[in-house]
Amino acid sequence: MREVVQLVHRGRPMTGTLHRPPPGRASPERPGVLFLNAGHVPRDGHAGLWARVGDLLAERGHVVARFDRPGLGDSPGPLPERIETFWADVKKGGLADDALAAARWLREHHAPAGVVAGGLCGAAITALYAAERDPTDLVGLVLMEPEFYLLDPANLPAPEGGATAPRRHPATRLLSTFSWLRLLSGANRHLKTRLPRVRRAATHLLLRVLSLPERTNLELVGAWRRTLDLGLPVLVLTVRDDFWDIYYRKATEFVLGGRPPPPSLRHVQAEDTSHAFTRGEGVAVALREIAAWMEAAFPEEAPQRGHRPAWSPVVEAAP
Amino acid sequence: MPEVHASPEVQPAPEAPQQAGYLDHDEVQLYWVRHTAARRPARGRVVLAGPLGDERMHAYLTWVRWARRLAASGYEVVRFDYRGQGESTGAFEAACLSDWASDLRAVAGLVAEGDGPLVLSGLRLGALLSAGLFAGGLGDALLAWGPPASGRAMLMDLLRRKLAEAMMQGRREKGRDRDWYVAHLEGGGTVEVNGYPWGERLWRDAEAWTLAVPVPDERRPWAMVRFDGSTPAVTGPEGAVWGERLQRPPFWMMNQRLVQPVDELFARSLGWLERRAVAAGGGRR
């Protein structure tokens, strides 16, 4: 059963959808789940993925909420003209306060056991910043294809009264590990159809010699480190060897500093689907993995809060 | 649900209050959003019927802007999601164009009573469905943006885009061209198109949907807006068919603009509504 809900944060309304468990399935012990906008996409997500996940988790006893942040979907509010401007804001955590307000609302009204927050790509970024900023209401994260890299400064609009970054000479791309990773991971169209095995081997070789690739979002890596410190259960879903997967793995390697991944972290790599999980079996894989992880991380009988990792992170924030 | 009151200073367009909810219909919950006219009495009532699948996702911000612009101009507006899409419940794989037309008719019932003419305003799939229902007698006026020639033509276009994307990404499977997918659908198989599972029912039902161009002696005002060569050439009375040049790619396809330059489309469409649908009484019978 779905219903429309609305909350007002700092005077700006956010329209959302609430998935309630069927009668007899609701339990105050089960955490609520909050899904955020995947970039600028309406709250149902690509091919309605988050509406489907919401129905599935509600069937299993979770109250699920999905909100359009102001300006997106059905929520009124200002928007920049260009997508790059919006993304620049996402990548520095500009949407995290809206997410925290939604999590607070969900916990106070429907999910006293706390809230699992997340979503795809931009939503994963926002959820990470939110967890770092104030984890009071959060008990877990679902991060699909978190984006650990920054935009090319030359593609960003000029700040008020300033100038855009100068475009680099194309030849400088030969020295750019970002450009090489784009090319080798298939994010660049020019080499997509050619030599998949050679590309994969070259990517792995390049990654072995790199610490953090060029244009890594260091602020987000810091948020990732501090989130792992908190010991929140986290599910990460990526598409094997795509651009997001590569940056995620390098960021995580850096954060862990040679230690094994903590038991609170589960990383699943999907095969043969698209970044939005809409190609092939992507939707089915996302539904299955998220539902299974929720069941394992938050079993009906277990306490929901106070979980802490059995390891001490030693990695310092990136310079 | 409480009404949304946005601050005018943060809105690119004048804002009108909006409400949202669910309508129970055919064992599904249809999601609707109603934008209240900024004046009383309203100039008219407009039902917005949107596009299909990925086109819905890409067009969403512009479509909502159109709804708000209409409301700010004095129209009572309701928009909605078809079953199996967006915020509406139901299984996409079980749905077809006839079901979505039924959804459109049901949502139109939300504004059956009110001031001024009842206008059907559709985009792509919504334009095709609106034209079909208009021909069947629903509404006092029709405004169709970029209607496809038929349901089949629209699905074939979406399949072509799926194949083109797969080719660009180097993932095209050998022997799987449009003919293969069509044969697969006609054989009862399911085809995934941008995450949506198309089934035989959708494919076969689409054959029954050909763009219903109003008959020459249609007295109710109607207009069809052609965006490019993909919209079929139709003829009608003076001012009924016009072309709009949109920035490429059009706003219902993936692109880099959040705020689309569609002011001319909005202004001309509003002008047509005012001149033909409202001033002429919308052909109310």
Which tens digit of pLDDT belongs to each residue from B50-99?
Answer: 999 999 999 999 999 999 999 999 999 999 999 999 999 999 999 999 99
Strands B141-145, B222-226: pairing is parallel
- Looking at the complex, report in whole angstroms how far the Cα of residue A310 sits from the nearest Cα belonging to chain B: 39
pLDDT score, position B4: 36
- What ipTM was reported for this prediction? 0.90
Identity at B200, one-letter amino acid code: E
Contacts of A187 (CB under 8 A, 6+ apart): A181, A242, A243
Among A22-26, A157-161, A315-319, which stretch is predicted with the lowest mean pLDDT? Answer: A315-319
Q: Taking CB atoms and an 8 Å cutoff, what residues of chain B touch A277?
A: 195
Cβ separation of A74 and B18 shorter than 8 Å?
A: yes
Q: Taking CB atoms and an 8 Å cutoff, what residues of chain A touch B87?
A: 2, 4, 17, 43-44, 51
pLDDT score, position A269: 96
Cβ separation of A2 and B87 shorter than 8 Å?
A: yes
Q: Which pLDDT band, with edges at 50, 70 and 90, does A314 fall under? A: very low
Of A290, A289, A283, A293, the residue nearest A49 (C-alpha): A283
pLDDT score, position A311: 34
Phi, psi of A5 (to 5 degrees): -130, 165
Contacts of B156 (CB under 8 A, 6+ apart): B178
Which tens digit of pLDDT belongs to each residue from A233-253?
Answer: 999 999 998 889 999 999 999
Our measurement of the distance from residue A66's CA atom to the centroid of its chain's CA atoms, rounded to an integer in Å, reads 14
Q: Taking CB atoms and an 8 Å cutoff, what residues of chain A touch B168?
A: 189, 192
Q: What is the pTM of this model?
A: 0.88
Q: Taking CB atoms and an 8 Å cutoff, what residues of chain B touch A3?
A: 22
Contacts of B244 (CB under 8 A, 6+ apart): B225, B226, B227, B264, B265, B268
Does residue B89 sit at the A interface (CB-CB below 8 Å)?
yes
Q: Taking CB atoms and an 8 Å cutoff, what residues of chain B touch A15?
A: 4, 20
Q: Which pLDDT band, with edges at 50, 70 and 90, does B243 fall under? A: confident
Give me the residue from A6, A11, A192 closest to B169, CB to CB.
A192
pLDDT at A277 over 80: yes
Does residue B7 sit at the A interface (CB-CB below 8 Å)?
yes
Strands B28-35, B75-80: pairing is antiparallel
Does residue B8 sit at the A interface (CB-CB below 8 Å)?
no
Concatenated DSSP letters of chain A: -EEEEEEEETTEEEEEEEEPPPTTT--TTSPEEEE--STTS-TT-GGGHHHHHHHHHHHTT--EEEEPPTTSTTS-----SBHHHHHHHHHTTTTHHHHHHHHHHHHHHT-TT-EEEEEETHHHHHHHHHHHH-GGGEEEEEEES---BPPPGGGSPPPTTS-PPPPPPGGGGGG-HHHHHHHHHT-SGGGTTS-HHHHHHHHHHHHHH-SS-TTB-HHHHHHHHHHHHHT--EEEEEETTSHHHHHHHHHHHHHHTTPPPPTTEEEEEE-S--TTS-STTHHHHHHHHHHHHHHHHS-TTS--S----SS---PPPP-
Task: Please state whether the peptide bond connecting residue A80 to the residue before it is cis, i.e. omega within 30 degrees of 0.
Answer: no
Q: Which pLDDT band, with edges at 50, 70 and 90, does A155 fall under? A: low
pLDDT at A265 over 90: yes
